[in-house]
Amino acid sequence: MVSASQALAPASRASSVLGTDLSEQSLRRYLNGLPRVDVIGANARAGHFQTRSLKTETKRQGLDLAIRMVDLTTLEGADTPGKVRSLVSHAIHTDPLDHSAPSVAAVCVYGDMHVSKDPSGISVAAVATAFPSGRASMKVKLLDTEDAVAAGADEIDMVIDRGAFLSGRLGEVFDQIVRVKEACKRPDGSYAHLKVILETGELATLDNVRVASQLAILAGADFIKTSTGKVQPAATLPVSVVMLEAVRDWYLATGEFVGYKPAGGIRAAKDALRYLVAVAEIAGEQWLDPHLFRFGASSLLNDLVMQRQKMTTGHYSGPDYVSVD
Amino acid sequence: MSFLDYSPAPESTSILKLQKQYGLFIDGKFQGSRGKSFATISPATEKTITKVVEATSADVDKAVKAARVAYDKVWSRMPGSERAKYLFRIARIIQERSRELAVAETLDNGKPIKETRDFDIPTAAAWFFYYAGWADKLEFATGGATPQSHGVIGQVIPWNFPLMMLAWKVAPALAAGNTVVLKPAETTPLTALLFAEICQEADLPSGVVNIITGAGKTGQALVEHRGIDKVAFTGSTRVGRQIAKSLAGRSTALTLELGGKGANIVFDDAPIDEAIEGIVSGIFFNQGHVCCAGSRLLVQENVHDEVLSKLTRRIETLRLGDPLDKNTDIGAINSKRQLDTITEIANSGEVEGASRWSSSCDIPSKGFWFPPTVFTGVQASHRIAQEEIFGPVLSVLTFRTPAEAIEKANNTPYGLSAGVWTEKASRMLSVVDKLQAGVVWANTFNKFDPTSPFGGYQESGYGREGGVAGLLAYLKTPIRTGGRK
């Protein structure tokens, strides 16, 4: 498996994909040359995943997979060190009644919420670049990122400049991602994993989602992510269809794996399982791995755990048998 | 276990309460017959589901007479608003019994439960709802002329969408004031017999709907019966021709919905991923047992390789197997005979020089199955490009210009359906305009709605089903007596 960050430096890699020097014009020509998306068709494809029926062993497997793929998130102005500590504990011990329940992939917090490194192997993701609006100078965005990386973040969730994207300054968006990626570099030469949030709710059309996905991948994103969770609509299945097609097409063209993270609005285990179906049927089963797929969610975890309890014990428990945070 | 090996999720058959032997539904009652009884089997397991009887010509006569009496004494005299009530009631009962009907259809036909549940049965109900609405508004369809029904209609339907085809035939016929004698296909009589029960449950007056089971001979006796005022047939072009011949010189009206060899045209500016879905549903929906299937893929040469690699990758994710499993995408071929036909024509494709690719899916040991198959390098002269295969077999041809695409798409004795995929609206309109097909889908495929007329050109038949046109097919052509309207 070739991870995106080990490949060529983004700018030179992008020009090799474009087959020409990288310029605003060549970038636009390349992105406009992508196949368009038919909304009705994409919605129908999304509808298909809702009709899959996951039973017994597959359901059990899916619930465990889904728990392992959660980025347990708290992104509130009222977050405190105490709140984050309890989140980390919940992330590790997902089911207070069953210690065989898997831990989640990561906790996702604001960059100033210092999380003590724990031995459990879960990662710390920090949102950066003036999350959620992305409205700040580049200097601030880079500092925001460097600060989080220096504080020990394993993963950075950045937002793209939607204003620049919608006004057609695609090169600017590209440059920003490349520079944030550079800011993810640690003194030892390794990189914090970069997730690029497109905020699809503000991009409005599936064509834009397709273009923004490709742009982020081209600029070196390790993950493409739908939303901040602060804008409605957040993650939807039709948007996921398009973004999963983007990572699949990139893999088929280059052999490189880019991850996908839907975030916001996924609250029920049933919905999470539908996402797993979409991931497996569109991108492929290789993506059913926390390195390549994450759920950005807060309340989803407890529903997954309750459904898992139901599968184990044969009866439903209730919200009092999972921890509130 | 890999995640994609979804655990079995079978729909239960316990909802079905079938009799061991079904008679003929004539004059509101199930009746015995002197005809010999035969089994209807599940093509997925080859197990017998139940037994039905082959109606003799005496039975046909009895059914036609019952329909005539019902027409003369009850149905033609009943106000449209009253007929509408019965049709609405039937539509609602179809909805209420939809799960049972879906299971029955899947068992008898072999198609996946997700299709019967999400398509066949809801569409059948929608057809009754739609034509129920027309029953008291016929003069709006005839442009003010007094609407006149034909009388007794003989209807013969195929095995690919048994209950849906029944609905397409029965709903407009009854709305227009006719009575019917319907013969379902010999391999799929089950839902028609359940429909007979629904007619009883709806208190439909005796004789308005009569259902007689049997094979070709019964069908022939029905369409040639002198008491029939109109024949409506859906099926093969070969049988359609015979019917047209046998009715020649008689005043019996006739509509035929026959075969097809639909072209699905993909331009290089198409929404490719959605086009792949359209190609897949165009030819693999219902195992390709669809008269309007997009069985010829015409793809622009410069995107041929990209489309084919995405297409085969997608086809590999289709799940073939137990039709009752809710995750099954491809079910069983309806009969041994049809499987033999598909196999024979597909083999000719290889002999004539096309390259064959088939999904690597496992094939169950019992039952009739054919893996989703794609032929590339197909020439317009090959049999697989010309003949209707009526199975999950796609023939891929290429074109370079819009004119060539149109020429190749129209180069068929049929003319039932076509699909066009392009994001350029001007190209869409200009190409659609030049395609000789009864229905052309734009950036989609195999979509049906009761308000939309469906039917063919040339050897695909004549007459339309659905919409106002489908209603007019069950009314006599109004004779204008002069004056301005």
Q: What is the Cα–Cα distance from A225 to A210, expressed in whole angstroms?
A: 12
| Domain positions in chain B | 24-258+461-472, 263-449
B263-449 shares the fold of B24-258+461-472: no
Using one digit for the tens of pLDDT, what is the confidence trace for B248-299? 999 999 999 999 999 999 999 999 999 999 999 999 999 999 999 999 999 9
- Torsion angles phi and psi, residue A194, rounded to 5: -105, 120
A318 assigned to some structural domain: no
Residue A321 resides in a domain: no
- Chain A hits for B449, CB-CB cut-off 8 Å, are none
How long a stretch of residues is chain A?
325
Cβ of A54 and B9 within 8 Å? yes
Report if residue A226 sits inside a domain: yes
Q: What distance in Å separates the CA atoms of residue B97 and residue B182, rounded to the nearest whole number?
A: 21
Q: How far is B284 from chain A (nearest CA, A)?
A: 15
User: Each residue of A84-103: pLDDT tens digit?
Assistant: 999 999 999 999 999 999 99
| Dist. CA A307–CA A63, nearest whole Å | 8
Tokens at B398, concatenated: 């290429």
Query: Two tokens at B474?
Result: 């069950």
CA–CA dist B468, B120 (Å, integer): 21
Which DSSP helix (H) or strand (E) runs through B442? strand B439-442
Contacts of B309 in chain A (CB under 8 A): 252
B305 touches chain A (CB under 8 A): no
pLDDT in tens, B333-353: 999 999 999 999 999 999 999
Q: Which domain holds residue A267?
A: 2-313
Q: Element (H or E) spanning B484, and its range?
A: none
The span from the CA of A281 to the CA of A291, in Å, is 18
Q: Which residues of B touch A59 (CB under 8 A)?
A: 7
Cα–Cα distance for residue pair B372/A238, rounded to 1 Å: 26
- DSSP assignment of B289-301: --TT---EEEEEG
Query: Which chain A residues are closer than 8 Å to B6 by Cβ?
Result: 52-55, 58
Instruction: Please choose, from the candidates B386, B81, B395, the residue with its C-alpha nearest in 3D space to the C-alpha of residue B260.
Output: B386
Give per-residue pLDDT as tens, B191-214.
999 999 999 999 999 999 999 999
Segment B116-150, tens digit of pLDDT: 999 999 999 999 999 999 999 999 999 989 999 99
For Cα atoms B70, B19, B29, give the angle at the middle one, nearest 5 degrees. 15
Q: Whole-number mean pLDDT of chain B?
A: 96
Closest Cα partner for B39 from B198, B188, B216? B188
Give this complex's ipTM: 0.93
Domain count for chain A, please give it.
1
Q: Which residues of chain A have a pLDDT value below 70? A: 1-9, 117-119
Q: How far is CA B32 from the centre of its chain?
A: 29
Confirm if A287 and B10 have CB atoms less than 8 A apart.
no
pLDDT value of position B482: 52
Interface of A with B in 288-307 (CB under 8 A): 288
User: Residue A167: phi, psi to the nearest 5?
Assistant: -90, 10
SS3 assignment, position B54: coil
The pair of structure tokens assigned to A259 is 């991850």
Q: What is the pLDDT of residues A2-56, one digit of tens each?
A: 444 444 567 788 888 888 888 999 999 999 999 999 999 999 999 999 999 999 9
Confirm whether A102 is domain-assigned. yes
Give domain status of residue A323, yes or no: no
Strand pairing report for B373-376 and B355-358: antiparallel
In a domain, A8, yes or no: yes
B9: contact with A, CB 8 A cutoff: yes
For residue A198, give the 3-state DSSP assignment.
Answer: coil
- Domain membership of residue A132 (yes or no) is yes
B365 touches chain A (CB under 8 A): no
Contact A321, A306 (CB under 8 A): yes
3-state secondary structure of B254: strand
pLDDT of residue A7: 44
Architecture of domain B24-258+461-472: 3-Layer(aba) Sandwich (3.40)
Domain of residue A177, CATH code = 3.20.20.70
Nearest Cβ partner for A57 among B7, B326, B443:
B7
d(CA B485, CA B475): 19
Interface test with A, best of B273, B280, B302, B421 (most A CBs within 10 A): B273
B138 burial level (CB within 10 Å; 0-12, 13-18, 19+): buried
Helix and strand numbers, DSSP H then E, in chain A: 13, 10
CATH classification of B263-449 is 1.10.8.100, yes or no?
Answer: no
